[in-house]
Structure 1
Amino acid sequence: MAGEPRHARPTDLGASRVFSSSNPEEIKALIDLSGQELRWTPRARDNGELRVTQFGRLPVTGLARISFSSHETLFDLDAELRVEEPEDVYVVHLPIPGVQHPVPDVNGEEIQSPHAILGPDEPHRWTRLRNATLMTLSIQGSDFRAALADRLGDTPATRLRFNPEINTADPGIASWVQLAQTYLHLSRSGFAAASPLTDSHLRQALLYGLLDMQPHSLTDAMTDHHVRAHSAAVTKVREYCEDNAAEPITISELAAASHTTVRALQRAFRRELDTTPMEYLRQVRLAKVHAELIAIGKGEIRGTIAEVAANWGFYHQARFAQSYRQRYGHLPKRTVRD
């Protein structure tokens, strides 16, 4: 029945009904308030319904979005909705599995993937609104700018633009979508609201994960910066190993010397040198031993093979001899003898 909007509270602990009505005038008034355009000519007074539910603790008025908010919108309209996102908001569309969802198109082309992200200056329209439900995550542009400044060292001068289609055939993207659905489930249950720290970590993972996984206008800049940062880390560690090879060194010390994390350093070494930081250190030490054994063979310095090996951290003679032979093709005593 048409009449006053229904605001009954849903049973979901973390959800609050923002709007519910089958009154055409009320539905159009809400759409107008949000700054969108609804092309709809009801055939009868009770010809449709719009229901909006927000998940999480923060309040919302009408369809106004807050930083990183989540909504479920049920459409039951023979209509077309023309949408232009607010000036600084990006909206991720997450259809509910097994439920019909609205289909967006940008510049007259339907987005083939049911998952999408649309941002400022990307007007689009939603069709197939009859008995359709859509989950959305709304993320403020300021959140993305802060994350990009963290990654790039400075706030980008150009606006961030995502590829609107979210391709879940990519395993990384599929994992991100699963995480987003988990976040929506927790928000809906009230768990995230009851655990602010959990909520904060999930939001951060979603924000940075979307920047890392979904192609966008600054992907190349992020990749270039990532490679430069890791190359600098590898260079610092190589220099550190050369200068301190005789000292007891741990992987944590190498990471600290390069101002990066252990995992990031290991990835950088594997990508650029196809080895690990500690294996690289072992090879530096073997080279130091080799140079001293040559000097002993020439009579330039005095010492035994065992002494030289121990000075460079090789205390197990059998394992040292095996490593030396793998590197130089013969045992250490041959280097001294030759």
Structure 2
Amino acid sequence: MVRTRDLDEARHITSAKLCDHKLELVGGRSDLFVRHNAVRGQSISANYLHYGADVTVNPGQLGSFYLFQVPLSGCAKIRHRGEEMTATTQMGTILNPDRGALLHWTRDCSKLLLQVDKNQLEAVARSITGAPLPGPIRFEMQVDLTNGAGRQLKRLVMACAQGIENGDLFQGQLAARDLRAEEDLAHALLTLQPSNISHIIARSDRRANLREIRIALEYIHANLAEPITLADISKAARMNVRTLQKGFQRIYGQSPMQVLRNARLDTAHYLLAARRHPPSVSEAAYSCGFSHLGRFSSFYKERFGHLPSEQR
């Protein structure tokens, strides 16, 4: 997005992609050299940002999005929701949209920033709980990136960034895998990071019965070629996402999306093993809902021990 030593240019361009904010240099001498990379999906955007100088950033209230910050180097002092903390490579932060923030970045600080649209996050929360929200979702600010849920969150965000670098995610027109990645990231934030609705999420598993699970499974097999999501499956089975996930884990030892992927792979395997007129690998992949041939081949080999092109 920008490579500049000009403070006003940096503020103008980063404001357009993130949100309007005040940006000030700290101290006299400045080695300011702003680097900002950004990729936007439908409800999520991933950003890399480095200032190269000590700066103060005052965005006020973010308004329309949550911001998950993963420091890659250096540190930043942050004030938010009446708390103060220092973000480091071991401790990330989540900023809530309806509370002000003030950030002091050190000259060696660089961050990976994940913007999550407020409306989309609330929609995912409602699909998890199967009920209206009591009010705005507010996360705890600090995210321990070194163990447990925080480490898992960081791993997912870094995997997303790597997917972007590899050209697998958010490359122009949005594909089904992009929308699934967005849903997965929003779901992970809600289930892994403590918030004021964590207790509602924890109580939302009402234990699915076998009939509901069978309906979900039938929906999966009837829509193998379609870009269906977790929310689509739960809606078809008339249960919330949390109940759906717990039910599949209890009965199959897998998540619904793992069951979907394996069903797609099994169908592709059947097609490629046909004695007469088997389809090409790409035809089999696309007809079974895979839009990325490299990923399809990798999953296929993992499941069957050989590449789809080696199928006899």
The interval holding the TM-score normalised by the smaller chain is 0.5 to 0.7
CA distances 1:117-149 after superposition (whole Å, capped 9, x unpaired): 111122222223313211111000111111112
Which amino acid letter does the alignment assign opposite residue 221 of structure 1? I
Q: Please say which of residues 21-30 and 75-84 is displaced more in the overlay.
A: 21-30
Residue 202 (structure 2) aligned to one of 197, 218, 223: 223
C-alpha distance in structure 1 between counterparts of 2:131 and 2:214, whole Å:
28
C-alpha distance in structure 1 between counterparts of 2:98 and 2:245, whole Å:
40
Question: CA shift at 1:32, angstroms?
Answer: 7.0
Q: Please say which of residues 126-135 and 27-36 is displaced more in the overlay.
A: 27-36
Which amino acid letter does the alignment assign opposite residue 102 of structure 1? A
Change beyond 3 A, Cα 1:261–1:110: closer
Q: Return 5+ residue gaps in structure 2 as ranges.
A: 219-236, 252-312
Residue 94 (structure 1) aligned to one of 70, 83, 92: 70
Partner of 2:60: 84
Indicate if the aligned counterparts of 1:102 and 1:133 stay in contact, CA closer than 8 A. Answer: no
C-alpha distance in structure 2 between counterparts of 1:146 and 1:262, whole Å:
17
1:173 aligns with 2:156: no
CA distances 1:30-54 after superposition (whole Å, capped 9, x unpaired): 577742122326736x641222111
Q: Please say which of residues 194-203 and 145-154 is displaced more in the overlay.
A: 194-203
Percent of paired sites with the same residue = 15
Partner of 1:203: 182
Indicate if the aligned counterparts of 1:75 and 1:130 stay in contact, CA closer than 8 A. Answer: yes
CA distances 1:44-92 after superposition (whole Å, capped 9, x unpaired): 6x64122211135x6xxxxxxx720000001112222223343120011
CA distances 1:273-299 after superposition (whole Å, capped 9, x unpaired): xxxxxxxxxxxxxxxxxxxxxxxxxxx
Which amino acid letter does the alignment assign opposite residue 79 of structure 2? D
Partner of 1:145: 122
Change beyond 3 A, Cα 1:49–1:252: same
1:50 aligns with 2:50: no
CA distances 1:216-253 after superposition (whole Å, capped 9, x unpaired): 01111121222xx12xx4xx66xx9xxxxxxxxxx959
Q: SS in structure 2 opposite 1:183?
A: helix
Q: SS in structure 1 opposite 2:125?
A: helix
1:35 aligns with 2:20: yes
Indicate if the aligned counterparts of 1:84 and 1:120 stay in contact, CA closer than 8 A. Answer: no
Which amino acid letter does the alignment assign opposite residue 205 of structure 1? D
Partner of 1:129: 106
Q: How many residues align?
A: 223
Partner of 1:193: 170
Question: CA shift at 1:172, angstroms?
Answer: 3.3
Q: SS in structure 2 opposite 1:115?
A: strand
C-alpha distance in structure 2 between counterparts of 1:143 and 1:258, whole Å:
20
Change beyond 3 A, Cα 1:144–1:40: same
Partner of 1:26: 9
Change beyond 3 A, Cα 1:192–1:27: closer
C-alpha distance in structure 1 between counterparts of 2:113 and 2:238, whole Å:
40
